[in-house]
Structure 1
C-alpha cells in the first residue's frame, strides 16, 4: 500500500511539472502595445508643430474625449524618413464601396483612453533606433458644450478627421446618422445628451490641423491626418526584449474643437450660424515603457 501511494505521488508530481512547462511554453511573446492619452494642458500646435493660439474671430474648447480611432501607425528612424519609408506597423482596412478609396469605418478599431489600440509581437517589429512616431487619426467621439438662447447644453460629437471615410450608418447614443457614402476629412455629427436634437455638417476642406514638426524634411499629403511626434528618448528595438514595450501617444486636445464666432462670447452656438472650422488634434508626444 505504501509503495502504491508513493507511486501515485510521483505520477502527480510529474503531471504537475509537465503542465507548468506546457503553460510556460504557451505564454505570449513580448508585445509592442500602443495606447492613447488625451491632455487638455499639452501645448497647442499648428501644422508645422509650432505653438499656436486660437485664430482671431474664432473660439475653441477642449473636448472630453470618449473614443478615438486611427488607420495608420509608423515608427520613423529620423526626421528625413519619408512617410511610408519607416516601419509601418498598421494600416486599417479600406474600401471603394463609396467610389474613391476610403477608410472602412465599419472595420475601425475604436478605443478609449488607456486601452490597447494595437498589440504587435515584438518579433514582427524591425530592429532599429526610432526617433519619431507617425499616426494617422481617423475618428474622435467627444463631449462638448453648446449654447442656445442663452442656455448651455451638453452633447456628443462624432468627428471624422481621416482623409476619406466610407460610413454606412453611425450613431451617437440613440441617434442614428445614415450616410452610406464617403465623407472627406472634416465631416461631423452632433447630438444633445438629454434633448431630441441632432445635426451634422462638414468643416472646410484643408482646415483640419495636423501637426508635423518635420514638415520641412518629411511632409505629409494634403488632407491626411498623419500627426507626427518625437520621442524624448529614442525607442530602440534590438530583438532581445523579454517584456512588453508600451508606447503611449499623448495627444493635445488643448482647444482642439474650434468654431467661427458670430457672438464673441467663447460659447459654441450653432443655432446662430457659428460653424465648426477645425477638429484636428493639436500635437503628439510619444513615450514608452519597457
Structure 2
C-alpha cells in the first residue's frame, strides 16, 4: 500500500510539472525581426509627417540591397525614454578608431524579406509594447546616376547604374568596405552620412570602375521619430521609431509559436542630393553631393 501511495504521488507531481511547462510556453518559440524595403510607402520627415523635397534638391528611391541595424528596443508607451524599454539587440562596438563606434566588420546585414535578428521569446520581458525603435547603421542599394565627362579624351554623356553604400549610424569604425565589387579603405571612424558609390564606365571597349566617397552634412540625415516631444533621441543617431501597425505586441510568457515582426522601411525618394544642374538626375562627378540618405519611415507589423 505504501509503495502504491508513493507511486501515485509521484505520478501527480509529474502531471502537475508537465502542466506548468506548457503554461510557460514553448522555450523554442522566437521573436523574429524581418526587414522589408518599400519604395511606395509614405515618405516622412524627422517628426513623422509627410515630407516633400526641398527646392534645389532632387531625390530618387533606388533599390535597396542590404541594411544593417545597430539597436532594437521595444517601448511600452510614448513616454518610455530611449533605453528604458526592452532592449533586445545591440551591435558590436569598438574604440579602435578613437571614440566609441559601431564595428562595421561585425555588423550583420539583411536583404528584402530576410530575417535580421531573432531572440527566444522567453528572453523578452513579459508585457505589452506599443512602439519599436530600430537604430539603423548601414545600407547598400542600387541607384541611377548621370555621367557627363571626358575620360582619356572620350566624351561620355549617359545615364548609368550605380551602387551606393551609406553609413547612417551615429559613428562607425570602418577598416574597409565593398560598395559592389570595389573595396574602399578607410581605417578609421566615420560619422553619420558617410557614403561611397561605384559605377562602371565603358571607354573604347574597356570597362573602367569609378568609385567616389563623401560625407553628408552633420544633422542632414532624416531619422523619423514621431515621439520627438515625449521621447527624444540623441542628435546624430539613427533611431527610427514607429508604433506597431496592427496593435500592441503582447508577450505573455505562454507563447508556443514564433512571432514575426515585419519591419517595413520606406525607401521612397530616400536618396537626396543637391541638384546643381537642375535636371533631376544625380551627377556625382559634377559635385552634386548627397545631403540625405535616411529611410523615410517604418511600419512594423506583427505577423
TM-score w.r.t. length of structure 2: 0.85
Query: 1:28 Cα shift?
Result: 6.8
User: What is the CA deviation profile of residues 215-242 of structure 1, one whole-angstrom value per residue up to 9, with x for unaligned ones?
Assistant: 1100000000000011121111111111
Do the aligned partners of 1:46 and 1:282 also contact (CA within 8 Å) in 2? Answer: yes
User: What is the CA deviation profile of residues 32-80 of structure 1, one whole-angstrom value per residue up to 9, with x for unaligned ones?
Assistant: 0001101111111111011101111100000100000001000001000
SS at match of 2:130: strand
Which residue matches 1:6? none
SS at match of 2:244: strand
* Aligned mate of 1:211, from 213, 224, 230: 224
Supply the distance in 1 between the matched residues of 2:44 and 2:55 (Cα, whole angstroms): 16
* Aligned mate of 1:151, from 149, 154, 158: 158
Deviates more, 1:87-96 or 1:148-157: 148-157
Supply the distance in 2 between the matched residues of 1:148 and 1:36 (Cα, whole angstroms): 32
TM-score w.r.t. length of structure 1: 0.89
Supply the distance in 2 between the matched residues of 1:242 and 1:28 (Cα, whole angstroms): 8
Do the aligned partners of 1:256 and 1:282 also contact (CA within 8 Å) in 2? Answer: yes
Query: 1:263 Cα shift?
Result: 1.4
Supply the distance in 1 between the matched residues of 2:115 and 2:36 (Cα, whole angstroms): 11
Supply the distance in 1 between the matched residues of 2:126 and 2:105 (Cα, whole angstroms): 33
Alignment of 1:75-94 (within 5 A): 75-94=74-93
SS at match of 2:105: helix
What's the C-alpha RMSD, in Å, of the aligned pairs? 1.1
Which residue matches 2:192? 185
Do the aligned partners of 1:38 and 1:250 also contact (CA within 8 Å) in 2? Answer: yes
Can you give the 5+ residue segments of structure 1 that lack an aligned partner in the other structure? 1-26
Supply the distance in 1 between the matched residues of 2:244 and 2:55 (Cα, whole angstroms): 32
Do the aligned partners of 1:142 and 1:156 also contact (CA within 8 Å) in 2? Answer: yes
User: What is the CA deviation profile of residues 156-203 of structure 1, one whole-angstrom value per residue up to 9, with x for unaligned ones?
Assistant: 111100000000011123311110000000000110046411110000
Which residue matches 2:170? 163
The count of residues paired between Structure 1 and Structure 2 equals 263
Which residue matches 1:256? 270
Do the aligned partners of 2:36 and 2:114 also contact (CA within 8 Å) in 1? Answer: no
SS at match of 1:106: helix
Do the aligned partners of 1:98 and 1:166 also contact (CA within 8 Å) in 2? Answer: yes
Which residue matches 2:236? 223
Do the aligned partners of 1:156 and 1:193 also contact (CA within 8 Å) in 2? Answer: no
Matched, 1:172 2:179: yes
Which residue matches 1:100? 99
Query: 1:148 Cα shift?
Result: 1.2
Query: 1:271 Cα shift?
Result: 1.8
User: What is the CA deviation profile of residues 226-271 of structure 1, one whole-angstrom value per residue up to 9, with x for unaligned ones?
Assistant: 0001112111111111100000111000000000111111100112
Supply the distance in 2 between the matched residues of 1:155 and 1:270 (Cα, whole angstroms): 11
Supply the distance in 1 between the matched residues of 2:123 and 2:158 (Cα, whole angstroms): 53
Which residue matches 2:109? 110
Supply the distance in 2 between the matched residues of 1:240 and 1:113 (Cα, whole angstroms): 30
Can you give the 5+ residue segments of structure 2 that lack an aligned partner in the other structure? 1-25, 149-156, 202-207
Matched, 1:268 2:282: yes
Supply the distance in 2 between the matched residues of 1:284 and 1:174 (Cα, whole angstroms): 30
SS at match of 1:271: helix
